[in-house]
Chains A and B, each alone.
Chain A
Amino acid sequence: MATRRFLRALCRHAAAGADLVSLRRHFGAVTSIRSRSIIRPAIEQEKSLRHRDLWLLSSRRFCSVKTPEDDDMEDEYEEGEGGGDVDEVSDGEMAAGSRPHKREYTPEEKEAEASEIGYKVIGPLERSDRVFKAYEPVFAVVQIGSHQFKLSNRDCIFTERLKFCEVNDKVILNKVLLLGSPAQTIVGRPIVPEASVHAVVEEHALDAKVIIFKKKRRKNYRRTKGHRQELTKLRITDIRGIEKPEIPITKEKPVKVALKQEKVAEAA
């Protein structure tokens, strides 16, 4: 609140035509980054400030548009000074407008939080790990975002684009609702704690184009829009949290070998 009042007062003084010296006298030696970024462009473009921009800087907003305080202040400065040093917002806004969601999740905690919403955790990249195992007769019901899947080892899944993982990343799906094997079933309420499903991101791709066609007959209204959904393909590698049966693999091989030997004997 104090900073907001300070900034507004600063603007009013700058708009009224005060130079740097008088500004400094009023507000003392302010060393915060924010005020520095405001004072410098104010000095440079003091003379070029048009009347309309001065009004924008100094006037109160009477419109009912509710924006967060920070964005409000930064927008005002952009308009008035024609390119002041606003750190995050300018690049995203000035760009083509086709990528409005260019927020930078700089702290890794934020990434982790956002990925928790989608019930996935990013593991390290894969380097010579033997992750792709043989099929195990175990399944899990997992939720990713709002979609639920019944997964088994070596399955492939197409989900909505997972934002914070790249191709060849290991991903852990936390929200396991049910685990099952031929001998045992574990039902979660609603989640099975300490159960996880490991997967590898195989690709980030666009789905085939869907044409959205709107028409109102006899009203001269026709609209055509193309849409390609961004998908992520995950390959499931491991299901943890349930005892896996170990029997079937060892039994199959001797049976097959015996059959082959018999066939060879018959042929000969």
Chain B
Amino acid sequence: MALRGVWQLQKLVVSYCNWGGSSRGIRAFMETKLPAFQEKNPQLEIVPELIRGQHPHLKAFCKNKNQRVVCVKNMTPDDILLHSTRLRNALGRKVVKLKTRHVTKHPTVQGTWSTDLKF
């Protein structure tokens, strides 16, 4: 996720519980895969947070002040890595159905065609 070379994800809060079974995957993720993920993305601020008695989740804070929360309860470390990679890859924009697949400010170069146009 990089708008003109600027990474859009600022902060990733990894919330987990040290007792619950639903946090087993994320605890394993924090031991095995999180350091590598942190090294690959030095621009990203990763904050582990302990929330006892609650299901684990990932919170993403983007530069356009958008937040996205992904619940990772009962997930394997591979799946959690996939979700965190997806959060890092995406811009913080709202997920809306695309109107067009081609976004441009200059739709025409040689002029718009009309029936009166003569070459």
Q: Does B86 contact A132, Cβ atoms closer than 8 Å?
A: no
Q: Does A159 contact B106, Cβ atoms closer than 8 Å?
A: no
* A182 at the binding interface (Cβ < 8 Å): yes
* B105 at the binding interface (Cβ < 8 Å): yes
By a CB distance below 8 angstroms, the chain B residues around A210 are 97
Q: Which of A182, A205, A235 has the most CB of B within 10 A?
A: A205
- Interface with B: A57-65, A147-155, A256-264, which one? A147-155
By a CB distance below 8 angstroms, the chain B residues around A143 are none
Q: How far is the CB of A256 from chain B (nearest CB, A)?
A: 18
Q: Does A207 contact B89, Cβ atoms closer than 8 Å?
A: no
Q: Does B5 contact A168, Cβ atoms closer than 8 Å?
A: yes
Q: Does A203 contact B101, Cβ atoms closer than 8 Å?
A: no
Q: Does A155 contact B102, Cβ atoms closer than 8 Å?
A: yes
Q: Which of A152, A154, A206 has the most CB of B within 10 A?
A: A152
Q: Which of A98, A156, A167, A180 has the most CB of B within 10 A?
A: A167
CB 8 Å contact bits of B1-25 with A (1 = contact, 0 = none): 1111101000000000000000000
- The count of A-to-B residue pairs whose CB atoms sit within 8 angstroms is 90
B interface residues, how many (CB within 8 angstroms): 26
Known A-B contacts A152-B106, A203-B90, A205-B90; A96 and B79 likewise in contact (beta carbons under 8 Å) = yes
CB 8 Å contact bits of B73-93 with A (1 = contact, 0 = none): 000101100000010111100
* B98 at the binding interface (Cβ < 8 Å): yes
A131 to B110 CA separation, bound complex (whole angstroms):
24
By a CB distance below 8 angstroms, the chain B residues around A149 are 101-102
Known A-B contacts A132-B4, A135-B106, A156-B104; A206 and B78 likewise in contact (beta carbons under 8 Å) = no
Q: Does A208 contact B89, Cβ atoms closer than 8 Å?
A: no
By a CB distance below 8 angstroms, the chain B residues around A159 are 101
Q: Does A167 contact B89, Cβ atoms closer than 8 Å?
A: yes
By a CB distance below 8 angstroms, the chain B residues around A233 are 91
Q: Does B97 contact A204, Cβ atoms closer than 8 Å?
A: no
A147 to B7 CA separation, bound complex (whole angstroms):
28
CB 8 Å contact bits of B35-75 with A (1 = contact, 0 = none): 00000000000000000000000000000000000000000
By a CB distance below 8 angstroms, the chain A residues around B117 are none
By a CB distance below 8 angstroms, the chain B residues around A98 are 79
A contact residues vs B (CB 8 Å cutoff): 95-96, 98-99, 126, 131-132, 135, 137-139, 147, 149-152, 154-159, 166-168, 180-182, 185, 200, 202-208, 210, 231, 233, 235
Other A-B pairs, 12, CB within 8 Å; known A155-B103, A205-B91 = A98-B79, A99-B78, A131-B5, A132-B4, A135-B105, A155-B102, A158-B98, A168-B7, A181-B110, A203-B89, A205-B89, A208-B97
